Chains A and B, each alone.
Chain A
Amino acid sequence: MLTEYAFWFLTFVAIFSAMGMILSKNPVYSVLSLIVTFFAIAGHYFLLNAQFLAAVHIIVYAGAIMVLFLYVIMMLNLNKVDEEKRSIWSKAAAAASFGILLLVVSAAIGHGHAQSELQSVADTSAIGTTETLGLSLYKEFLIPFEISSVLFLAAMVGAVYLSKKEQYN
């Protein structure tokens, strides 16, 4: 019963702070709302017994990525209210794509319900621990793991190269 309440609470927090991220005029408030959304998603991971992912999610997203966003916004001095001139078409496109995509995917989920009752696993409490995830990561997914380290190296070189002080025009 408690987990059910926790699910609904985390869901509403995530959705409303995501809406706040989109609708707030100040970019700093957008970043803070997105951090609240990420914490709610980490709570969802805890509810789904994915403890390692929840910890990594908080460390990587709230700790590294959003701090980077905040740092760039402060550095570019964008922390002021920007009165964006949006045309009625962009608002209509946003609202229409939100509604239509939500409708289509919701209908697909509703109709796919009969096929989703494939199997019920008795004990799923051990799948999200660091031990099982680490064994899977270093046995089955060793090559993708190493390739992702090369990706990180490339990203680091690219970021350093792009942020050199050099005029391109």
Chain B
Amino acid sequence: MALLPNITIDHYLYFSTILFCLGIAGILYRRNAIIMFMCIELMLNAVNVALVAFSKMYGQTDAQVFVFFIMVVAAAEVAVGLAILMMLYRNMHTTETDVLDKLKF
């Protein structure tokens, strides 16, 4: 079951879990919207690592195609999200989520 010598799928799953939990902790800990955005990217990448490890384990290409699509969605999301943050900064002069607590302004 070793993907590499002495490295099993469990190692990759633990690694992916730690990265995902770090992303969640970052979202709850930081108040800057840009840093929270970066934490979302970190969580997406944690899932990608698990998918690539499973793809290696089962010898199938499908998981790597899924990783490819996750990258596509992440790129589109970053383009729109950063545009929204730019617009918010232009109007509110901050990206701190403690200040940006109104749904309509």
Contacts and interface: CB of A to CB of B under 8 A. Distances in A.
Interface in B4-43: 4-7, 9-15, 17-26, 28-32, 34-35, 37-39, 41-42
A156 B79 contact: yes
Categorize the interface residue count of chain B: 35 or more
A127 B64 contact: yes
A69 B34 contact: yes
Contact of A151 (B19, B31, B60, B76): B76
Interface residues of A, number: 89
A53 B56 CA distance: 13
Contact of B29 (A22, A50, A167): A22
Contact of B26 (A22, A72, A156, A163): A22
Interface in A104-153: 105-106, 109-110, 113, 116-121, 123-124, 127-128, 132-133, 136-137, 140-141, 144, 148, 151-152
Contact of A11 (B15, B24, B29, B57): B15
Interface in B21-79: 21-26, 28-32, 34-35, 37-39, 41-42, 45, 48-49, 52-53, 55-62, 64-65, 67-69, 71-79
A21 B38 contact: yes
Among B35, B41, B62, residue most surrounded by chain A Cβ atoms (within 10 Å):
B35
**The 9 residue pairs across chains A and B that have the minimum distance between CB atoms:** A121-B59, A155-B76, A98-B25, A94-B29, A162-B83, A94-B28, A22-B26, A159-B83, A124-B59
